[in-house]
Structure 1
Amino acid sequence: MGNQTTIRGIEKAMDPATPSAYIRNDGSLDTDTFAEDIASIVSGYPDCDPDALLGWAARRLAEQASGDEAAPLAVGLYATRTYPYWYVRHAAVVRQMIDAVRAASEVFAAADCPHHEGDGHPGLDSTRAYTEELADLIPLLGDEHRWDEEIEDMEVLNAGPRDGWLCPGFLAGLAREILDDLRRAITRITRAPDTGHLDALYLHRDGRADIVRLTRDLGDGRWRDPKDPTGTAAVWAARRFIAGARPEERLPLLLLVCAVTRRCAWEQVAPAAVHVYREALATVDPAPLAAPCAHGEGHPTAWVPDRKRMALVRALHAPDAHAGELGDAAEIDQDAVRCPKYAAEQAREALDYSRRYLRLDEEEE
């Protein structure tokens, strides 16, 4: 038994999301292994490649929608339904999942549901996560004996009769909720927020950008303004840099875009917004990177802490009013900061960081 466990662990470590990792020798779903990896995803510490597992589970659900595996697979996808919204970067992954779950939902909808208006279906509250409980439930759904033996220990879930979980009418409801979240994920990946309405907020009457207000709204520390969860202010700044920035605005806006780009992993910024940041960063001339400049000892980058990045932007924009906000970084060499090579370095670093965040190298493999 111990050797079998070790071998399974090695196989999963080598290729954790191939179908063979979740299929028994007889071709059926290994609900225990599947449940373990679903549990690792919902806990925030995946032991697998979540994109690959969820994509495979959706395809398997479409293939097995009328069989015994439908409930374990659907419940696993339901437990992880918000994962693609926050963590999947590639639209193709989510589109494939949508196609597969939609195909399964059509099978569920076409099957007979013996329950009048859902009477007899599990009473899941869509406002609650239930993620860990659902992961624990998966192996029981595939084994009636284990359900009878173990379900009483799952008091928090209040699972109800097993037949309700297996009912195609109930599974159709799960599929609808999964699809709703997957569609939200697609929007987040592909559609940057509209920012036209922010001109009234971030432009002075004379047409100048209100750099100070932008920095305040985007936050001086690790987190931006919680009232702007989609990052529209940062997208507005990037679009301003691309299309309409005045010469005196370009460096402050560039450093602002670089600062928010460095925080995109911390804040799980929408991929569509990060693509706008990258479009702005790509307009910075890289030629100074290959040429010498007057700052042989380098430019002041690493020792300006994140919490001071916005203060630096304000100090560059209006030194008389805001230089004192830099605190320990007040002695920063502003000539070095204004060097074209410094701007090119900052843009390159932010492009590299955002490339890793968006996993763009995976698309090229």
Structure 2
Amino acid sequence: VTFVDHLFVLHMQTSELVTLACRERLSPTHPIRRFLLPFTYGAITINAWARTALCNYRTTTQRAFAFTDRSYARAWAVAPGLVAASGAASGSLFQPLHRVARSPIATDNKIDDVLDEFLARQGPVYGSPGVDTPFYRTARKYHSIVLEWVTSYVEHFYPHGVDPNEDPEIQSFIEQVVLTSAASGVSHVGADLQRVLDAASGQPLRARALLIAFITRFIELVTLGHEQVGAVQIYAQDASFAAFKWKIGDLCGTKEAAMQGAILMCLTSSITPTLMPSSGSTFEQHDWAHIYPSKNPVEAEELAQMNRDFQLKLGSLADELDAYNDAAPHRPFPDNTGIWTANPRYMETSVSI
């Protein structure tokens, strides 16, 4: 989880590819670049730190995880295949690659059916694999909140769809994201993504639907996804509970493992903006709608109201989860635990290290 889903997928692929596409393809005042600004905050610096401190040979990760040089190289080499084949929920900028890998889009589909089938596969970052749980239900609620917010924003700026003739920047942005995502996956998955891109070409409303699906997916990955697979510091504090390496037969991790875990946590302590107002602050202090491009005060207020509605719904979900967590000790097993990773109160807007 920490190596593939966290380091490889979220840091080296997802956040890096989207941040680069924003910088390289969208002008500084473009509405989509402005919208994604909180979710790409500090990503280039943070991912550079991750590469230097965690991903390079003989750095903290290799030492803490007990990898030899050969096994470390092997781990990086098989990471793309593990993402596509393992059913990892955070496997791609487009959901869900593991189902695409096991069931490619039929090659005899009509061009419209290709995009319809692909969009139908989009859903929460953590969709239920068959056994529904409170966590999966919470993930669906969070997905619905983010999707509604993204849809309202994108439809505001693209009421008639995404037309590359009117906005060549967004077309170039989508192409770079899709092509770089395809390049990092298995071959027929890349072919599926290319066919989806071709299917959306010349169809503004379908291209807009693809853009909405992508942005929603990306935001979920860097918020909920990173909280789920990247926020491991609470577990790594006690080598008798969880350790990055553990000798067979021992009751706990070694002192060296505990120290290496502590060093790893010291290297991963960057400060990233929170998704919701922190305790004691207000929405007005936390609102980032001022970065959205607007032509007049009326439009600015409309965009601010979108953010306000989004924050209110996040707050309602957070309150619901707080109550659920408080009642956890009184519920029978296996529901006697809380849900913190899916609580927006504890999420950050971007990947952190």
TM bracket, shorter-chain basis: under 0.3
Q: Could you say which structure has the greater relative contact order, defined with CA pairs below 8 angstroms and 6 or more residues apart?
A: 2
- In the superposition, the TM-score normalised over structure 2's length comes to 0.22
- In the superposition, the TM-score normalised over structure 1's length comes to 0.21
